[in-house]
Structure 1
């Protein structure tokens, strides 16, 4: 359904030299800065100048990436920024609820209410190997564990009543112990006594973000998520996902405005379409096509290198959906569906993979990129976007300096931050303490 008065939400996904596979080779980037605080502080300040809602840091527990640990980096960025939200990816399969609840509460306090948790369930068998686990749980079990993990974490945040800190000098009391409670959680996977050893976070809970488009992911988003990061490459697929996940909220007693859908978008933008296309071609030329074809062939029962680049993608040779339990399992379906919908050639399939990791990509002028964003917003394909600039910092700077003013002129993006916390800027309510009524009844009984 078209919507005329929605305001757009924007998040930037920070990642090394940029999201294009050739970014690290491009003269505009300096990949040697990937592990420095000054580099990420610059990106955060650019995004905050552009009035972005938040920045997002992905994470996993295996592989040869160069990612800094999210809590460490985002805590440092919290001290260097004032408004922008800080989203950390933390997996549920290889962590404990108590640790995660405590760390996010700390980040929320340090940032003044700007923390958010991107909830993921795990990556691969390599993660299990690094934690000494006998095996990586299959998808359905991972989501069961993840669901219980989130329930425990929420109860730990709620183990302190809002007014438990009293600082009563006359009574020589800092904490009203009658307002701090054990949770005594006992589930299928976790048994946690509580309470947490830090008061309830400023936002009540950090904003809960869920990433993924699988069946389990959509259900977890509908039950728990407040923002969902997803990957759809066409407006039709985006509208279908948007309607699907929003329709699931009612059974959990939730309304559509309690969940924001933010698809990934990899924009390459310049003053003119021709300049943007030239930059895209330059970036594409820096990528080893043979390596990329080998990587993409994991989705098929054939080797894509055996086909001419201008031949159609052999979608009839694609592996069954759900058969690849590595990485984001729903991405398999997204990339194959996009190839089928758009009748892509292998060359086009390659180019799309270079810039978006399976997300939507768009290359064009400032006005064309703004048109793309406005269409998805108004036609019910998105509440906002998780931006994946091709190169950092240049791609982000261009978007902030040129696309943001165009979106503001159209009346679909803020001209100042609405509030102090991330929840306020996203238009999300601060959650009530789930134990509020239980604690009150307990005191009445005594």
Structure 2
């Protein structure tokens, strides 16, 4: 039987109990679907008359906070579905009706059945040592599977001995930052627009993060100083959506060779290109001066917490890896099985087609996007000075979306207003409504 802590205040017992229950639902202490104690049990616990509890339950059912069927238990209503609707106004921080925040895949499409099969096969084949501590660089099974996959799909030179399994791209950047600091590197240049978390991770390691300007051809790599390192998203610049120009790709590799610098390539969604075959990873041009970062977060789900680094032989990570593996062995073995069986490729192809269709629908709806046809997000330019007002309008309509300024380097002047729309985030059923909500909040409807 469910125990329920309530503070009944005020002079009237019925009014106090009703408000205490309403407040518990409103603040989330009683989650949707929670079964409440029977009226008899709650009356005994609180020392009040049973009729008082029945009356409180009835009032909250009428208001839409609770639900009950004849002869069934009383439960907290799921107000997100709109059935039944509460008469009280929505509270702050309420879950958005539509989510178009960039950086997330459609997690509702995670291949559960294939993951279960892969986990089962992996466990059946696993040796006893798989259930002990993993090697610092990760399970050999996964490193071998990636050494087959990455050259084939992304043109990466990836010997298993040079692959390190991490808990995602951000974790990999944190490890690299520590390793670079240990090598007396003091500067890692970053793109003028990028993930604040990545800049913060570098800064926490004591590294300076000067900003490289970004234009329609990607980062301005000719602005790099001598020495140090640079963090780039060359296949699909995040968040502006540009691809690094071929001349700049060559130039940044030449810079690394001539100065002894290091390029950190974040290939966060390199498998998702829609207008042509994806350009190979930058790492393939010079494996000794480029660290390749990849992740399963966009292709599968961020909750898997698996990423990988392909590092040059000259970059020793021993001092930052510790003595044991950085992620769970079972998850690593399951992903290796998914890669080896071809199920990973199949899932990526399925999601590539789905995301391409969503981007096409975004363009067909009259929304003009900038950047190449790739990835899980698109940049929508706004009239100057309208970004904040557009975001406020979206928030009022419970549409979650991010502005370009969210990703601007602090040292870079604000010069562009835009929305960064994550069209990969909604579920299939939620996408049409999210697209319609987006069109309603745009200050204008730019046409191609």
Q: Which TM-score tier does this pair reach, normalised by the shorter chain? A: under 0.3
Please report the TM-score for the alignment, with normalisation by the length of structure 1: 0.25
Higher relative contact order (CA 8 A, sep 6+): 1
